Amino acid sequence: MANTSVKKRNLNKKLTEQGDKPSEAKLTNGKSVDGASAKSKSKQPAKENKNANKKATKQQTSAKTTKKSAKGVKASPFTRLLKLLFWLFLILHVIGPIILHYSPYLQRHLIFLNFVKWPPNLNLTKPEALGLHSVRNFYITQEKENITLGIWHSLPQGLVDQAIKERHSIKFYEESLKSGKPIILYMHGNSGTRGSGHRIKLYHVLKALDVHVLTFDYRGYADSSDVVPTEKGVVEDAKFMYRWVKSRAGKSPVFIWGHSLGTGVSTKAVKELKESKEFPHGLILESPFDNLSDEMKYHPIAITHKLWSDFLEWALGLADIKFDFFDWMIVQPTKDIGLTFTSDKSISDVHIPILMMHAVDDLVIPISLADNLYESALQTRPKDVPAVKYIRFEDHHDYGHRYICLSPELPKIVGDFLESGIKYFNSKQ
């Protein structure tokens, strides 16, 4: 019995040990493999994968951190300003001038600025909406070139009541031109339309002076024919308008008034009218210049371009051979396409009364250019023609380029000139 129980205990012990431990050998691919070795081998790839994943995660985290830190570092306001100034300089003084030099289309548009329609969205067919009463809007087509011009006719104050009685009929407006009251044909400057604010202010002044005002938009401007303007084209428009007015004016005196670029248009138009023995009663030049080349050189926008050109001339050694880089790059191309407006030459053939007005604080057209034009007029002025009247408005008035129309002296200045022009014209009959 004792031996049997001892054997049973030994047997149970062995069974227990075998159950607690894994088998010493397993069959792998038909071969006996050590259990511990198989376990360690199976763990190695898992460890390697785990390490690789950790490494990739670290790299991704590092990349994200670098990205965040790069985003977090912003350029200072001063650096951003320098970059902006650099690009502006590059566009305005390098890229822009090169494009302009080789593009006649851009040259014309930058001289005439006819694409600038300010104020925008004006309904020019309804001048009363702009505060202009007893003003007729109409259109005329010159058959020769098939160019249509948009026009306003503002009645003298003395005819307003009669116009109301006549219900502002077209017939009344045209027949009123023969009333004997002075007629001013107004030629505006570049940009804007016949409805621009400073021009409307002038129409009010002239209405109060009891004169007719006919103002029009050149080809390419406002609601006139949509073509690219040229110097020859706008001068043709001016002459066409003068002849249209003159043919309906009877014995009423007709004066021409030009402002800014309109002084170049009107001076050349009057010169060419003289060639066909057509003489207005007088020419009024408000804020004039001597020629387009000088105006381009002395315009405020050209100052930095001139400095840059002077630097290039010095750097490239061109100063010694007297090469004008600004003239070659900007001015000469406009001459090549026929944009000159040489009023200093045209005025020598304008033998009618002339009134010039300019503000000393005009920044767009420096008064020195008006002085040059005045000197040119004096040099060739016949003795039997009235002297050129030149009015300079001091800078404390702040009239600048556009607002001589605000001068309380203007009605008397213009009124006296109209009277003297009529007297001179009558004396020559």
Long-range own/partner contacts, residues 171-177 (CB < 8 A, 24 or more apart): 173/136, 174/248, 176/212, 177/212, 177/245, 177/248, 177/249, 177/250, 177/252
Phi/psi of residue 147, nearest 5 degrees: -105, 125
Helix (H, G, I), strand (E, B) or coil at 171: helix
What gap in Å lies between CA 422 and CA 282, rounded to an integer?
8
Q: Residue 31: CB partners within 8 Å, gap ≥ 6?
A: none
Catalytic residues: 260, 362, 401
What gap in Å lies between CA 425 and CA 429, rounded to an integer?
7
Hey, how many other C-beta atoms are within 10 angstroms of the C-beta on 349?
14
What gap in Å lies between CA 173 and CA 385, rounded to an integer?
33
Q: Which amino acid is at 409?
A: E
Which two tokens mark 1?
């019995």
| Strand runs labelled E in 331-379 | 354-359
Helices (H) and strands (E) in the chain, counts: 17, 10
Angle CA 144–150–156, to nearest 5: 120
Phi/psi of residue 27, nearest 5 degrees: -95, 120
Please check whether residue 390 is in contact with residue 327, taking contact to mean a CB–CB distance below 8 angstroms. Answer: no
What gap in Å lies between CA 325 and CA 318, rounded to an integer?
8
